[in-house]
Structure 1
């Protein structure tokens, strides 16, 4: 067994920040108050403050300090919708992490978005089971050859490793992400993801043999359950700093936010930590690694970062009475999982000067009216189907037709629509920031009738786990210009018992299996993700119309005096 000196490390960690640069309003339960109160929690400026404070404190009691991000900085807010990865690069450079893991949402727009991000960041991006060695050199924006990408090394069958000096020792850091990345994101076909567990095993062995250190940190974007499983089954990992599943380790029942168990799960000789999501919390860990790399002791926890403001609701129009405010503040000041701090002023200045004005403009931009609450749900229930997803599909057709394309119908997966819409004004900010936050291109493609039928059935099978182990109910298909009947009890391949499209005369005609149609969907759906497998075999690849989902719906909404759900809904027979 490889042995060296023990070391004591301080590690600050975040994950799944999803472009939440600003604080987020969170409802907290204060035991001494009857009503819940709202606090603005987290944000990048406060992360910067708390990380710097922790680093200074750790300098006196540890051998070294690391700040790690376990992946998924893309998507989630208007800042990503408007500025894509550029804003994340600038804001993360302000935080200066020692390393970040590649998450699945970094690949929602393919390799090009990651390539541009790599050109802009000042820190290494770790993607240890992403094999980019065979990437075509003809691409405008390749990832292969980027010096700050630590990817899979096919010669060693292992991840490239980041070595960080800690005193007179070295700590080895590498990362893995979901090996079924192509099922949930859009990596280019010539850059596959290699089996995560085997990559971890191979990399640990390589580190022991060639770098001669037992102190090994896995920066994981596999999800909490998988992290725990890796800790049980793979020897040689000192620490797993995880992401993807948004688990806020720790007991936050003192704030009315639940109890996810203790901070840090110590399994065999490996410690597993994760820090929630959306830049709300920061993990602060001090850990002693013994001479063999195992965990001797650890302390710390996730902390929520609060400012001075408290209110009765998210509008911040109704402030707390003075006595209530003081009682709430006094309670919060005594909680060990709460940090009160001011945000870093230089980071706030960058955000306010470069990005906030465009976001505020969208918040003032009213695109249409919603006459009554429109409900969204993924799979239809006894009250009916989503009232919003079909309107999103109408928007896809509208944007394509406005650009001169002939379209027969549109299909969109339910998971791409995120919220119901309340009665009243609908702003561009609500559309791009909450309703359709995934900045994904709209694609034209030409499926046969049979491919459409198979895609609809496969997507519903996946959503219902009907004869398959599905990836979630977000695959459920909604449509415009297309309607179908699905019978759950029929044999596989026969469950779509009716499939019709709206022809040029406005009448509903049967979809002919041998005929080719013109369809429009998101890039995610059109590439055959999550049950839409038949669309992977189109005779021609899908073509972008150079519009993203949110912009499409904003265009469509502006053309409508008000949003009214279509009268004709799909039918789904669950028997």
Structure 2
């Protein structure tokens, strides 16, 4: 009989889980009910259950099966703040992943965190455009030579490739991460990231010409638009499984989660898929490939994984009456993109015994009261600037100075603050899990006045795309003990027209450009990321004060019985359209 060359590959996929190990409340609309209902979706225990079912179904149908994670498992919740990569390693191991891509948030704390993660995981970490070949010897936590790191192969000039064999067929899998990793994360300087498209082209050629494999899966942490562009511009990829941009493909309008992006975008002969974020959903793709690796046909969708409970509010304080509950359950059970499932008992047990008790303790720890709601916005608008970010900066200043660092002022990027806050109790969990979820060290550093001035302008230019191609508005600077005026219609390099710092006495003085000051920021900002480039050239390197962002604000909040929005946020930024 002639040899069958086409075959069907089933791929389960998740991305950007960000330590969301527990189910998350989601608001859903149900046909026939005026009010929206709340259910809990996702979480690692349910992912384990569903992925196991997908694997068993594929085996029963005679299909090949892969379970892939497209990166960014670090950060996001109290679990990461408390346990860093340890909880992720143990819980991801329980999911039985075939591979995971390296995300940018895996590098928020530098290479050492990735090195330790690699020592505890049981699946390959794909980072094909990460060149660790010139890593400095004798590092405490090296990357070079780690068997589960599929980095850039300098000999072949392409990504290291994971090959899976399914009977007569082979699938080659490799991964790439964002090109601008050094701009938005903290990889060590001796381990650069190479241009992803070059690596993808070289790797496809290697897989086809040297390995003789046509079925090629790219596990990407480039972002959805870049994945689509890669599919359009590069020939030879069968499937791109993506992450980074949190795109939930599929039509969820049936439950009020309207999304016009179809599941499985086919461009030329390549399929692109992505599964949202925060472990809310899991994707399942069944793709039949021709002998040349091109897509013949495909089916699949993203699925929300719901539990048994329903309520009328996210806190579960208001229950549905019996009739509405039964009607809602029946409606949801009929939806093809909703799965009702019980979470895996082993995953639940690990969470409940090793990690959840510490999280629950933080949820009951009230650190202060808020008399009023506090608004957060990145770039000031017609209502004004953020009311929270300046308080976060006050916290940085407080934590540094009670430890005797004699800091003059604090600077923090707006993107490091994540939410507005409602009036009432503020718990440690609110701070570490929602307000400041990025577990990043605070650093004391010594810039000159000229460097401070240039860093502020660079950060605002970056946030507003004023004369530069910015990386996002999260770089906008907020301060404590420092005030400035930014005029966007001035020539580049001259847009900070006033710059002053505050003495302990309360007096304001002009910053002297040649003088050196002591400042405190996150490790991210102090190392010159996203527009703060002027801080890359400090005479002495920033020094950690041994406190992370959330702990700093918790310290500051405990010392203030009632936090209020500052009367003067000390920022003087006027949008260009309003300048005369």
Normalised to the residue count of structure 1, the TM-score between the two structures is: 0.98
1:554 aligns with 554
Paired with 1:284 and 1:544, the residues of 2 have a C-alpha distance of 43
TM-superposition CA deviations, 1:144-201 (whole Å, max 9, x none) = 1111000001221100000111112211000000011011111011100000001000
Q: How does 1:517-532 map to 2 (within 5 A)?
A: 517-532=517-532
SS of corresponding position for 2:419: coil
1:572 aligns with 573
| 1:250 and 2:250 are equivalent in the alignment | yes
SS of corresponding position for 2:536: helix
| 1:369 and 2:391 are equivalent in the alignment | no
Matched length: 573
Question: Cα distance, 1:339 vs. partner?
Answer: 0.4
2:142 aligns with 142
Contact persistence 1:4–1:214 (CA under 8 A): no
SS of corresponding position for 1:311: coil
1:412 aligns with 412
2:88 aligns with 88
Q: How does 1:32-111 map to 2 (within 5 A)?
A: 32-111=32-111
TM-superposition CA deviations, 1:484-509 (whole Å, max 9, x none) = 01111111111111000002432100
Contact persistence 1:4–1:213 (CA under 8 A): no
1:478 aligns with 478
Paired with 2:282 and 2:215, the residues of 1 have a C-alpha distance of 23
TM-superposition CA deviations, 1:419-460 (whole Å, max 9, x none) = 111100100000000000000010010000000000111111
2:289 aligns with 289
1:345 aligns with 345
List gaps (5 residues or longer) in structure 2. Answer: none
Paired with 1:4 and 1:509, the residues of 2 have a C-alpha distance of 79
Q: Which moved more, 1:395-404 or 1:559-568?
A: 559-568
1:124 aligns with 124
Paired with 2:260 and 2:48, the residues of 1 have a C-alpha distance of 25
Question: Cα distance, 1:4 vs. partner?
Answer: 8.8
Question: Cα distance, 1:250 vs. partner?
Answer: 0.6
Paired with 2:110 and 2:138, the residues of 1 have a C-alpha distance of 15
Change (3 A) 1:190 1:317: same
Paired with 1:346 and 1:75, the residues of 2 have a C-alpha distance of 23
2:445 aligns with 445
2:237 aligns with 237
Paired with 1:287 and 1:257, the residues of 2 have a C-alpha distance of 26
Question: Cα distance, 1:60 vs. partner?
Answer: 2.3
2:156 aligns with 156
Contact persistence 1:441–1:523 (CA under 8 A): yes
Paired with 1:384 and 1:11, the residues of 2 have a C-alpha distance of 47
List gaps (5 residues or longer) in structure 1. Answer: none
Paired with 2:5 and 2:110, the residues of 1 have a C-alpha distance of 43
Paired with 2:437 and 2:504, the residues of 1 have a C-alpha distance of 32
| 1:493 and 2:490 are equivalent in the alignment | no
1:304 aligns with 304
TM-superposition CA deviations, 1:500-519 (whole Å, max 9, x none) = 00024321000000000000
| 1:468 and 2:468 are equivalent in the alignment | yes
SS of corresponding position for 2:400: helix
Question: Cα distance, 1:466 vs. partner?
Answer: 0.9
CA RMSD of aligned residues (A): 1.1
Paired with 2:535 and 2:319, the residues of 1 have a C-alpha distance of 53
1:456 aligns with 456
SS of corresponding position for 2:300: strand
Change (3 A) 1:324 1:425: same
Paired with 2:453 and 2:269, the residues of 1 have a C-alpha distance of 51
TM-superposition CA deviations, 1:297-322 (whole Å, max 9, x none) = 11111110001100000111111111
SS of corresponding position for 1:415: helix
